[in-house]
């Protein structure tokens, strides 16, 4: 069995994972590989710096010759879930009432349009956490539909007349989304635009505590040996569902190029959204298909003889 793990996974978690696979699931052999390595393999690279931004976490991990440089990993709170929560908070502050489908009794006319909407009563036993979860699922779809990355630094005051994007909520109400559709992405490149009362969403007290994504990459590469910095900047792999916003890759490359003038920066990301979202899985399929893969895995016999710590030498 091939398992993909977060690049920042602790040694204790890796040991426990191996123990569960052998003792609970009785698998004959296991190999554990880090997400950043598998994403690199999916792009045909063995050396790269990988920006992996998904729903639950964002991580920058340098990979050299197929190994993650653990001490140079940099994490960021800018995940897809946090951006969704931020966008919901902004819209609620503007008076938008997001009502989940389970709260609504809708009547549809013969032409397919909503003729009437009534709120269902007797839902007092529904927990607030479930309601919030359903609200965020709606806003997540809104985010993926209308949000995009600005090609350059986005100034809300100078873009007050920006065209609105319309989105229909489950209750049939159509809302106009203006600067918010750019601002949700902008905070990943320019955290200073984040409102002070929204900082708690990202687990900080002020915007100054947040680091832009390109600064995270620069910090990660800065912790690496100077001999490989050129190769790392020459292969910046962008992966994860949170990087699928239009113009995200171009904006990241521009910000990196402006901050690092002496080295050439090249970003790599699959054009297909499915490939970018599931690059870890694709890299895993490539690794598992290699003829040498059987020499890499940990057998149950090895685990029984050497114990759980074999995972650190066999699966670095």
pLDDT at position 5 is 96
- Phi first, then psi: what are they for 17, rounded to 5°? -60, -45
The rounded mean pLDDT for the chain is: 93
- The full set of domains in the chain, from first to last, is 2-78+210-314 (3.30.420.40), 80-202 (3.90.640.10)
Nearest to 171 by CA among 116, 92, 131, 120: 116
The sign of the torsion formed by the CA atoms of 62, 68, 70, 74 equals: positive
pLDDT in tens, 250-301: 999 999 999 988 889 999 988 788 899 999 999 999 999 999 999 999 999 9
114 pLDDT tier (thresholds 50, 70, 90): confident
In b/e form, how buried is each residue of 160-189, taking b as 16+ CB within 10 angstroms? eeeeebebebbbeeebebbbbbbbbbbbbb
pLDDT at position 163 is 85
* Cα–Cα distance, 314 to 111 (Å, whole number): 63
124 pLDDT tier (thresholds 50, 70, 90): confident
Strands (E), 190-274: 236-239, 267-268
Say whether pLDDT at 22 is over 80.
Answer: yes
Which residues 6+ apart lie within 8 Å of 263 measured at CB?
229, 230, 233, 234
Report which of residues 308 and 201 the model is more confident about.
201
Nearest to 32 by CA among 298, 305, 301: 298
User: Span 148-168, mean pLDDT?
Assistant: 84
pLDDT at position 285 is 96
* Cα–Cα distance, 144 to 142 (Å, whole number): 6
pLDDT in tens, 218-243: 999 999 999 999 999 999 999 999 99
Percent of the chain with pLDDT over 90: 82
221: helix, coil or strand? helix
User: Span 161-187, mean pLDDT?
Assistant: 91
pLDDT in tens, 197-208: 999 999 999 999
* Cα–Cα distance, 200 to 288 (Å, whole number): 41
What is the DSSP pairing of strand 267-268 with strand 236-239? parallel
* Cα–Cα distance, 71 to 66 (Å, whole number): 15
User: Span 54-82, mean pLDDT?
Assistant: 96
pLDDT at position 97 is 94
pLDDT in tens, 28-46: 999 999 999 999 999 999 9
Say whether pLDDT at 303 is over 80.
Answer: yes
Strands (E), 35-110: 48-53, 58-64, 67-68, 74-76, 104-108
The sign of the torsion formed by the CA atoms of 233, 239, 240, 242 equals: positive
Say whether pLDDT at 113 is over 80.
Answer: no
Which token pair is 184?
């949700």
pLDDT at position 160 is 67
pLDDT at position 106 is 81
């Amino acid at each position: 069995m091939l398992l993909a793990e977060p690049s920042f996974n602790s040694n204790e978690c890796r040991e426990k994972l191996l123990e569960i696979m052998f003792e609970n699931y009785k698998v004959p052999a296991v190999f554990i590989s880090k997400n950043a390595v598998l994403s690199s393999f999916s792009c045909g690279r063995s050396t790269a710096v990988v920006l992996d931004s998904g729903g639950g976490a964002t991580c920058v991990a340098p990979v050299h010759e197929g190994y993650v440089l653990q001490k140079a990993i940099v994490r960021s709170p800018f995940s897809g879930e946090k951006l969704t929560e931020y966008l919901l908070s902004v819209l609620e502050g503007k008076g938008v009432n997001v009502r989940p489908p389970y709260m609504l009794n809708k009547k549809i006319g013969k032409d397919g349009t909503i003729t009437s909407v009534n709120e269902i009563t007797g839902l007092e036993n529904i927990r607030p956490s479930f309601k919030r979860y359903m609200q965020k699922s709606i806003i997540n779809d809104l985010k993926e539909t209308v949000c995009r990355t600005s090609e350059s630094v986005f100034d809300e005051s100078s873009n007050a007349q920006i065209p609105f994007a319309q989105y229909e909520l489950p209750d049939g109400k159509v809302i106009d989304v203006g600067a918010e559709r750019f601002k949700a992405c902008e905070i990943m490149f320019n955290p200073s635009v984040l409102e002070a009362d929204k900082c708690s969403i990202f687990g900080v007290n002020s915007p100054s505590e947040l680091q832009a994504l390109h600064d995270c990459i620069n910090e990660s590469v800065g912790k690496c040996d100077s001999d490989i910095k050129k190769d790392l900047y020459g292969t910046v792999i962008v992966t994860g569902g949170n990087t699928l916003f239009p113009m995200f890759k171009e904006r990241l490359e521009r910000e990196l190029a402006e901050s690092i003038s002496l080295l050439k920066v090249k970003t790599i990301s699959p054009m297909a959204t499915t490939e970018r979202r599931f690059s870890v899985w694709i890299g895993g399929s490539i690794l598992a298909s290699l003829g040498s893969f059987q020499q890499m895995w940990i057998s149950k016999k090895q685990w029984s003889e050497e114990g759980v710590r074999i995972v650190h030498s066999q699966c670095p």
